[in-house]
Copies of this chain bind each other. A is one copy, B any other.
Amino acid sequence: MPYYIGDVIKDSKKLIARTPEKFEETGIRVRLNTRVDEIRADTGEVLLTGGERLPYDTLVVATGTVAILPDIPGTDLNGVFVLKNLRDGINIKEYIREHQCQKAVLVGAGFIAMEMAEALKTIGLETRIVYRGELPVKKWDPAFSAIILEELTDKGVIFMPHQSPVAVEKGDQARLCLVTDQERIETDLIIFALGVKPETALAQAAGLAMGESGAIRVDHFQRTSREEIFAAGDCCESYHRVSKRWVHIPLGDIANKQGRVAGQNIGGYAATFPGVVGSNAFKVFDLEVAMTGLDERTAERSGYVPASEIIWGTPVARSMSRGHRLGLKLIADKTSGKLLGAQAVGQSGAVSRINTLSACLWSGMDLDEIGFMDFAYSPPFGGAWDIIHTAAQILKRQA
């Protein structure tokens, strides 16, 4: 496994040109294309490939994640990709252009697969999604996943459920063939979008403690189990304010915040990362899809007694909603009445509701409060009773 200092920076040609210079102006040296083979925590140095030793007083581990590839033959063939960083994206685009690809297969049905399905279909490729389950994006309620499937199908993406890849081979009519446990799919391009796992090999070898999630354990200051070593971003855990557990949620906005907190602490300005509530979103064609907090399963595992309700409404006042519909699911704790999570799907207004509910989750608000919250009401932006109010009041009756 190669490790690079400045891995992300290397990926962007513009940044490569600018960033080292910019850093060096401030006295910071950036070493690109430089692999770390080992962290020697006891002596406070990192060992680079080639034998050079770099001493440190403070070290930040920001090794990110690795994309998961299935353990099947043929994944090393030309035309098989994962999508983890900007370089992967550029490689995929160049490959499509060079080989005038006509057909693409995505393996997996999470949000990367959804976003790539839109991107590939939009540039004209026949696009298939191969998925072992029944419905896409399994973190969402099946009612919402069904709507996402409808959107994919409406836009011409072919969803192939209930099958798993067993091999990649050279194709007959196309460049490649994805062999599944059900059929053989000829295609020019295969992207495995099966998720990521934290890249912790260096940290583990250095004896840093890992969390239960398998990511590097940190505290609210982004310190690892060694005081002088910090970790930030997708390689480490975050505190989940609703489940009250440390979790691994590898997302760019969280990584940014953790990086800033680590940097502030290293720079001598005490800062804490207050944690996450599990908010995330993606766009697939004309749908906004978003969630925050816990679903029923994770809520139960965290000791709550969840109740939930799905409400259908409009993103703005009904008379002005141009046919747009909005589905909102709320999950709350029967014991305390507190909101535990929310999911939303619609042509518009889904993300804005989830962000507002994220703020409610952040402070532990209950359904009584949420049912009467004060929003900026005006018919072009919402009804006098927003879908949030209605959902909270209806769920309250059973929660």
- A residues neighboring B (CB under 8 Å): 241, 251-257, 261, 273-283, 288, 290-292, 351-352, 354-360, 362-363, 365, 368-369, 372-378, 380-382, 384-385
Residues of B close to A355: CB separation below 8 A: 352, 355-356, 375-376
Q: How far apart sit A362 and B360, CA to CA, in the bound complex (Å)? A: 9
Q: How far apart sit A251 and B375, CA to CA, in the bound complex (Å)? A: 11
Residues of B close to A380: CB separation below 8 A: 283
Q: Would you call A374 and B281 a contact (CB within 8 A)? A: no
Q: Would you call B358 and A373 a contact (CB within 8 A)? A: yes
Q: Would you call B352 and A384 a contact (CB within 8 A)? A: no
Q: Would you call B369 and A274 a contact (CB within 8 A)? A: yes
- Whether A378 contacts B283 in the complex (CB less than 8 A), given A256-B385, A359-B356, A363-B363, comes out as yes
Q: How far apart sit A390 and B255, CA to CA, in the bound complex (Å)? A: 16
Q: How far apart sit A321 and B279, CA to CA, in the bound complex (Å)? A: 21
Q: How far apart sit A254 and B378, CA to CA, in the bound complex (Å)? A: 12
Residues of B close to A359: CB separation below 8 A: 356-357, 359-360, 363, 365, 373
Q: Would you call A375 and B279 a contact (CB within 8 A)? A: yes
Q: Which of B253, B360, B374 contacts A385 (CB 8 A)?
A: B253
Chain B residue with Cβ nearest A241: B374
Chain B residue with Cβ nearest A278: B374
Q: How far apart sit A274 and B251, CA to CA, in the bound complex (Å)? A: 35
A–B Cβ pairs within 8 angstroms, 29 of them:
A241-B374, A252-B384, A256-B384, A257-B372, A261-B372, A274-B369, A275-B374, A279-B374, A279-B377, A280-B377, A281-B376, A281-B378, A283-B378, A288-B381, A290-B376, A292-B374, A351-B376, A351-B381, A352-B352, A355-B355, A356-B359, A358-B374, A358-B375, A359-B360, A359-B363, A362-B363, A362-B369, A362-B374, A363-B363
**A95 shortest CB reach to chain B, Å:** 23
Chain B residue with Cβ nearest A383: B253
Residues of B close to A256: CB separation below 8 A: 384-385
Q: How far apart sit A356 and B352, CA to CA, in the bound complex (Å)? A: 8
- Whether A281 contacts B360 in the complex (CB less than 8 A), given A352-B355, A369-B274, A385-B253, comes out as no
- Which of A251, A254, A352 has the largest count of B CB atoms less than 10 A from its CB? A352
